[in-house]
Amino acid sequence: MEEKKASANEYVIIKAKQDGVNVIGLTRGSDTRFHHSEKLDKGEVMIAQFTEHTSAIKVRGEALIKTAYGDIESERKNSHIDK
């Protein structure tokens, strides 16, 4: 069986469950900062990779996130109040 390299060009799929979900790319290296923010409306999908420039991805808002490690849902703060 072929061995899986860590972060070997794997894709992360993010599907927004509400308007205004932010998918934020954070830089690789000693300086960790935002380098890109993509806004998704409900139902929109972004397919992204970890790259030479991107070591982490932050999702703000309610979304379904599918990765090679499993699926997870991000939630929004105070979702019980502003629904």
Q: In the set 32, 49, 67, 79, which binds ligand TRP (CB under 6 A)?
A: 49
How far apart CA 61 and CA 79 sit, in angstroms, is 9
- CA of 11: how far to CAs of 22, 55, 67, 79, in Å? 17, 12, 7, 28
How far apart CA 59 and CA 36 sit, in angstroms, is 12
Q: Total residues contacting ligand TRP (rule CB under 6 A)?
A: 10
51 binds ligand TRP (CB under 6 A): yes
Q: In the set 16, 21, 23, 40, which binds ligand TRP (CB under 6 A)?
A: 23
Applying CB under 6 A, which residues contact ligand TRP?
Answer: 23, 25, 36, 38, 48-49, 51, 53-54, 57
